[in-house]
């Protein structure tokens, strides 16, 4: 890979995350990962997943049935904000192992599985467009372009996983997020919502540092 193809993906991802005007659109991808995290953990912990909605304002909701308290529901609520970063870390491991095409195809398969549970038109459109781009790159792009795109996706997940945590706390401070994941966790566990936000931050920033350290030698 040339120097440009090594660094351009990271710079582009940073622009998409740091620019307010662009972030309002690119954030939809992070929302998809966020809700996918809720859904996957709900299934893995034995809860009954009923559906996922992705909204045009970049919010989302995952509905599942099961006990309202306990470890399963705590893990489900916790998963949302950390999933994009953890997916980015997994992607970094695959990219550094030169497993670019398996990474792209795994993403397509996960999005296809998620599509089955989407319950609104905008959500279907978001997932189909995202999956379509991933499929097109994996099928038609050259090996070098696939590698560059995989790097971009990885950096975007790592960087994009951090910003929503700060946005969450700003909304909470203004009293605009009474039903946030952190506040739901606070009601279930009696641990203050701010502590959960701080834990989200530790995980997302930590994965950015670890994933970035893995990618920088490239």
- pTM of the predicted model, to two decimals? 0.95
Local structure of 118: helix, strand or coil: strand
> How much is the pLDDT for 5?
66
pLDDT in tens, the chain (218 residues): 556 667 899 999 999 999 999 999 999 999 999 999 999 999 999 999 999 999 999 999 999 999 988 999 999 999 999 999 999 999 999 999 999 999 999 999 999 999 999 999 999 999 999 999 999 999 999 999 999 999 999 999 999 999 999 999 999 999 988 899 999 999 999 999 999 999 999 999 999 999 999 998 65
Which residues are CB-neighbours of 123 under 8 A, at least 6 positions away?
52, 53, 54, 55, 60
> How much is the pLDDT for 1?
57
Q: Across the chain, where does the E strand assignment appear?
A: 48-54, 60-65
Local structure of residue 55 (DSSP, 8 states): -
Q: What is the mean pLDDT of the chain?
A: 95
């Amino acid at each position: 890979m040339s120097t440009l193809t090594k660094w351009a993906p990271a710079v582009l991802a940073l622009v998409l995350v740091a620019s307010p005007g662009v972030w309002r659109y690119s954030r939809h991808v992070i929302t998809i990962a966020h809700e996918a995290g809720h859904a996957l953990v709900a299934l893995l912990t034995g809860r009954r997943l009923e559906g996922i909605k992705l909204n045009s304002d970049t919010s989302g909701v995952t509905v599942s049935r099961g006990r309202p308290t306990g470890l399963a529901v705590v893990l489900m609520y916790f998963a949302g904000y950390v999933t994009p970063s953890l997916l980015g870390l997994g992607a970094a491991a695959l990219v550094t192992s030169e497993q670019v095409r398996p990474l792209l195809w795994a993403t397509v398969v996960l999005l296809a599985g998620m599509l089955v549970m989407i319950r609104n038109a905008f959500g279907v459109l978001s997932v189909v467009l995202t999956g379509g781009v991933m499929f097109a790159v994996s099928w038609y792009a050259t090996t070098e372009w696939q590698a560059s795109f995989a790097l971009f996706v990885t950096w975007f997940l790592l960087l994009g996983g951090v910003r929503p945590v700060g946005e969450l706390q700003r909304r909470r401070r203004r009293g605009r997020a009474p039903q946030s994941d952190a506040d739901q966790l606070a009601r279930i566990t009696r641990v203050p919502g701010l502590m959960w936000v701080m834990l989200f931050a530790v995980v997302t920033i930590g994965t950015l540092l670890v994933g970035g350290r893995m990618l920088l030698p490239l």
